[in-house]
């Protein structure tokens, strides 16, 4: 479907948007053969997950209901969650920023240029920062405004059906909350915040949140105290491995400082980096050592594992994670 508008979120179509004009990658990935693999979504996903937005699945707990009744229940749950978002009982912590960003957007479109998701997708309309926000506004204006002429006049002109909500559950995760859009907004509004508020409805009301954030993220952290399960010993082993790895690749023997008293810089990485992308902490070590900086890592839990996954999608989880620390 070309030329997509926010209202189209509720229109039946197998896939609202096809991503075709991805931005060229920066060097060295712009050379032939260097481009990383880009796996196409599997056909079988269609029956299980929500592929009707852009074909991709970012939220594997957003599962396609089996019956019409279940679909309707999902829409209802979403609307209840939306009401909770706008209530000063259930959304005390974010009501004020939510209301401001919800109410005052002038649709000046300044934020689009700042959004890397929008730009890198080849400016696919559904990734425009105000697209998601406007879908949310339309749903809320219709739901709270009664759906009559007056709410249509105010912009509440969207079908609130299963497909709208289902797609929105994916669209809420096409933003990495970088808040670059907010930095350019002449009114100080924040489309990242609105994306997060939408995630809250799905997570806090409907129990739907991507596993890496919820089950293997905040839940694991609350249970074991660490989002990665890395103990102090395992962390120290990992540092040793990094040193060897750097030596093998570069021929240089670095001693990565840990718990160095009085160092100028305490460097903290996201714990996941050590597990999934050890080359990142390694790159930091090389640069810092070559620059001659007085720095250190810390082997205390808070020093190597201080991520709060709740911040990405769920207030209850982010609060609990702070308490654990």
Partner 1 sequence: MLLTVFIYASIIAFIGISLYKAYQYAKMPMHGRWELYPVPKEPGEKGHYGGSYYEDLEWWNKPRQVSHSGEIIDMMKEMLFIKNLFVNQRHQWWLSYALHLGIYLLGLWTVLLAVGAVMELSGIPLTTAEGVSASFAASMVYYITFISGSVGALLVAFGSISLFLKRMFNETFSKYTTPQEYFNLFFIFAVVISGLMVWSADPGFNYGREIMKGLFTFSPIQADGALTAHIILLGVLLIYIPQTKMSHYVGKYFAFHKILWDNEPNLRNSKMEEVIKGAISYKPKASWSAPHIKPPAPAPKDEK
Which residues of the shown chain bind ligand SF4 in the complex (CB under 6 A)? 105-111, 114-115, 117, 129-130, 175-181, 185, 187, 189, 191-192, 195
What's the closest the beta carbon of residue 189 comes to ligand SF4, in angstroms? 4
Taking only Cα atoms into account, the Rg of the chain, rounded to an integer number of angstroms, comes to: 22
Residue 146 contacts which entry, partner 1, ligand SF4, none (Cβ below 5-8 A, type-dependent): none
What's the closest the beta carbon of residue 187 comes to ligand SF4, in angstroms? 5
With binding defined as CB under 8 A, does residue 92 bind partner 1? yes
DSSP state of 219: I
What's the closest the beta carbon of residue 253 comes to partner 1, in angstroms? 32
Cis peptide before 28 (omega within 30 of 0): yes
What's the closest the beta carbon of residue 132 comes to ligand SF4, in angstroms? 7
Cα separation of 207 and 295, whole Å?
42
With binding defined as CB under 8 A, does residue 307 bind partner 1? no
Which H or E element spans position 296? strand 295-296
For partner 1, which residue of 1, 73, 75, 95 counts as binding (CB under 8 A)? 95
CB contact at 8 A, 130 and 101: no
CB contact at 8 A, 315 and 204: yes
Residue 181 contacts which entry, partner 1, ligand SF4, none (Cβ below 5-8 A, type-dependent): ligand SF4
Helix (H, G, I), strand (E, B) or coil at 106: coil
Cα separation of 140 and 2, whole Å?
25
Cβ within 8 Å of residue 65, ≥6 positions away: 71, 73, 74, 162
Question: Site residues (CB under 8 A) for partner 1?
Answer: 3, 5-6, 77, 80-81, 84, 87-90, 92-97, 99-101, 103-110, 112-114, 125, 128, 130, 134, 152-155, 157, 179, 182-190, 193, 203-207, 214, 219, 315-317
């Amino acid at each position: 479907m070309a030329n997509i508008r926010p209202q189209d979120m509720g229109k039946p179509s197998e896939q609202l948007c096809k991503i075709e004009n991805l931005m060229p990658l920066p060097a060295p990935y712009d050379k032939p053969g260097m481009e990383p693999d880009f796996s196409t979504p599997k056909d079988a996903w269609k029956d299980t997950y929500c592929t009707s937005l852009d074909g991709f699945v970012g939220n594997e707990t957003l599962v396609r209901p089996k019956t019409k009744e279940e679909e309707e229940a999902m829409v209802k749950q979403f609307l209840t969650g939306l009401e909770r978002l706008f209530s000063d009982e259930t959304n005390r912590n974010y009501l004020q920023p939510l209301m401001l960003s919800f109410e005052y957007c002038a649709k000046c479109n300044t934020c689009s240029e700042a959004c890397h998701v929008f730009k890198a997708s080849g400016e696919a309309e559904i990734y425009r920062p105000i697209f998601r926000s406007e879908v949310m506004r339309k749903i809320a204006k219709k739901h709270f405004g009664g759906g009559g002429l007056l709410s249509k006049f105010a912009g509440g002109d969207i079908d609130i059906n299963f497909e709208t909500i289902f797609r929105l559950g994916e669209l809420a995760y096409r933003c990495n909350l970088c808040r670059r859009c907010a930095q350019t907004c002449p009114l100080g509004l924040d489309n990242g915040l609105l994306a997060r508020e939408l995630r809250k409805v799905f997570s806090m009301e409907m129990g739907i949140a991507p596993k890496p954030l919820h089950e293997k993220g905040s839940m694991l952290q609350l249970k074991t105290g660490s989002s990665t399960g890395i103990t102090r010993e395992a962390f120290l082993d990992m540092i040793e491995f990094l040193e060897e790895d750097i030596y093998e690749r570069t021929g240089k023997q670095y001693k990565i400082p840990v718990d160095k008293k009085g160092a100028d810089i305490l460097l903290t990485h996201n714990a996941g980096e050590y597990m999934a992308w050890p080359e990142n902490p390694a790159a930091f070590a090389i640069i810092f050592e070559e620059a001659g900086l007085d720095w250190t890592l810390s082997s205390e839990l808070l020093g190597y594992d201080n991520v709060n996954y709740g911040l990405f999608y769920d207030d209850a989880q982010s609060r609990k994670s702070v308490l654990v620390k």
